[in-house]
Amino acid sequence: MKIEKITLREIRMPLVTPFETSFGRVTDRRMLLVEAESDGVAGWGECVAGEGPFYAPETVETARHILRDFIWPLLKARDFESAAEVWAMLETIRGHNMAKGSVESALWDAEAKQKGIPLWKLLGGVRREIPCGVSIGIKETLEELVATVERELAADYQRIKIKIKPGNDITPVERLRLQFPRIRLMVDANSAYRLEDWPHLKRLEAYYLMMIEQPLGWDDIFSHIELQRRLDTPICLDECIHTEEHARAAIELGACRIINMKLGRVGGYTPARRIHDLCQSKHIPVWCGGMLESGIGRAHNIALSTLENFSLPGDVTASSRYWVEDAIEPEVVVTAQGTIRVPDGPGIGYTPRVDRIEAITARKEILA
Ligand code: OSB
Ligand code: MG
């Protein structure tokens, strides 16, 4: 494979409803789409960095800089056998996983299209349908939260995750448990607590949650070990796991019992598959997280979720939960069983709507 050119498009899409987490509120998404042309075939990827460095250190601007000034010079004019080699080609760049993952995933799409096979098959996936859960942002009132959960359950989602933060945790969880005693329920704190808060987090154990996602510091594996020792509820790590080495440390040291996988956070399919295999060998279930992606990123999350050890429902949902109009065709839909059927077309299996994408492109840059 050779890459002729990369087109970076920064698009803006307003969310159907604002999304609030412990680190902030998002009403409009600004994201970088990567179109990589390889041997005459276009592969698409999405950079999941946010506008600000509040979930992870990268931003849309740092990703653009790294893609243009460091990733492109390493890839330009190189000849390689398959997208599986791209991660190693970027080895000299430390971190910047979201920038790396956007182009790496685009090249996996291009390779699958060149071979005329679905990306999920090229990756070694086994699922034809993936189980889906929803991530619900922090709401102003309990009534609003309950109404949202009712709506998502009516839409057949298999599990409910709510965002929590100090001062907005026990009360909403208790309320949901009273109203929905049997649903699969979990919480995500996005690093809003400190180890000293453990007696408070312990109170959440009364509500038999599936897991507590990333309660402590975004890069603090040590404190999660201490916390997991004190809790019966499994801890699921998200922010902390940005490399295979971090995953190994977290598992071996007992910092978590479940891992949330995100392509952007780990840098693409090569590290994601390695972490997946490691987790599988250690009997740690994984599930696919979300980053409020457009259809391009969503399509990649679906392909990733077909791997065998993605055994829990992920945060991968219908296009219409986020967008009035998505950037792909057809849009992602969820079945009455709360699953997404994995498409069988070549590559990501959804077609980017280039006209629509161009219409919402705020900035375009061609690397050639
Ligand atoms: O922590 O999983 C997270 C969205 C943005 C940043 C971080 C997270 C999230 C979500 C939303 O939980 C998942 C989705 O895309 O539905
Ligand atoms: Mg999370």
Cβ of residue 102 lying under 6 Å from some atom of ligand 1:
no
Q: Whose CA is nearest to atom 4 of ligand 1?
A: 291
In the prediction, which pLDDT does 4 show?
Answer: 97
Report pLDDT digits (tens) over 124-156: 999 999 999 999 999 999 999 999 999 999 999
User: Atom of ligand 1 at shortest distance to CA of 317?
Assistant: 16
Q: Can you say how many angstroms the Cα of residue 64 is from the centroid of all Cα atoms in its chain?
A: 19
In the prediction, which pLDDT does 93 show?
Answer: 98
Cβ of residue 239 lying under 6 Å from some atom of ligand 1:
no
In the prediction, which pLDDT does 310 show?
Answer: 98
Mean pLDDT for the stretch of residues 259-288? 98
Beta bridge partners of 20: 25
In the prediction, which pLDDT does 293 show?
Answer: 98
Report pLDDT digits (tens) over 91-134: 999 999 999 999 999 999 999 999 999 999 999 999 999 999 99
In 22-153, DSSP assigns E strands to 24-38, 41-47, 129-131, 133-136
Which ligand minimizes its atom distance to the CA of 134?
Answer: 1
Residue of 162, 292, 298, 332 with the most ligand 1 atoms within 8 Å of its CB, for mutation: 292
Mean pLDDT for the stretch of residues 308-315? 98
Local confidence band at 355 (pLDDT 50, 70, 90 cut-offs): very high
User: Atom of ligand 1 at shortest distance to CA of 260?
Assistant: 2
In the prediction, which pLDDT does 230 show?
Answer: 98
**Residue whose tokens read 């598959």:** 273
CA distance 249 to 255: 8
Cβ of residue 190 lying under 6 Å from some atom of ligand 1:
yes
Catalytic site includes residue 163: yes
In the prediction, which pLDDT does 179 show?
Answer: 97
In the prediction, which pLDDT does 290 show?
Answer: 98
Q: Can you say how many angstroms the Cα of residue 300 is from the centroid of all Cα atoms in its chain?
A: 9
Local confidence band at 158 (pLDDT 50, 70, 90 cut-offs): very high
Q: Whose CA is nearest to atom 12 of ligand 1?
A: 135
Distance (Å) from CA 81 to ligand 2 centroid: 34
What value does the mean pLDDT of the chain take? 98
Catalytic site includes residue 282: no
In the prediction, which pLDDT does 21 show?
Answer: 97
Local confidence band at 69 (pLDDT 50, 70, 90 cut-offs): very high
Report pLDDT digits (tens) over 245-258: 999 999 999 999 99
In the prediction, which pLDDT does 178 show?
Answer: 97
Angle at 9 between CA 1 and CA 365, to 5 degrees: 75
CA distance 304 to 132: 13
Catalytic residue among 113, 139, 161, 163: 163
* Residues 29-44: b if buried by 16+ CB within 10 A, e if exposed: bbbbbbbbbbeebbbb
